[in-house]
Amino acid sequence: DGVEALIASALSSIDAASTNARDYGDKLADFSGDLNTADTSEIRRLVAKVLADTREVMARNAELEGELKVASDRIEKLRDSLDDARRASETDGLTGLPNRRAFDLGLDAEIERARADHTPLTLLIADVDHFKKFNDSFGHRVGDEVLKLVGRVLKSMLKGRDKPARYGGEEFCMVLPTT
């Protein structure tokens, strides 16, 4: 809704600017025609009118520029919010690793790249053994700390384009391009 409102506002401002320019062009055309048949006193009146019209157009354009600047700033904030939302939708909240959605997208891209480049690609899948029993014995908070630790260890061990991800629960995956 916010994006649609911004687009409508920007289009309205652009339409108003176009109308202003067209109206001003019509006034200048009229001025040009009137100038051909005018005497000296009439020329002064016509020039004064053109100056007044010019000031009015300049004021409207400044107003429209302000509106477009506000719209541009709001669009930039929306773009940042959308980027934040995209990152959040692809990140596991507990470990900070990419989540399964991001993993699936990244794996597809790496498979295509490996095929195109004729390079090897390794996929490692790891599961924390007996995690349910550990979690039941020591509690979910301690279990969460174990998962965070596994995430940190995976991040610290990978290099280059290697990508770890939390696949789900206590399952982790690592994509190792060119390996």
Q: Report, as residue numbers or ranges, the catalytic residues.
A: 170
Q: Whose CA is closest to 164, among 156, 19, 49?
A: 156
**End-to-end Cα spacing for the chain:** 46
> Residue 103 CB: number of other CB atoms within 10 A?
24
**What letter does residue 28 receive in the DSSP assignment?**
H
- Cα dihedral 124→145→89→169 (10° resolution): 50
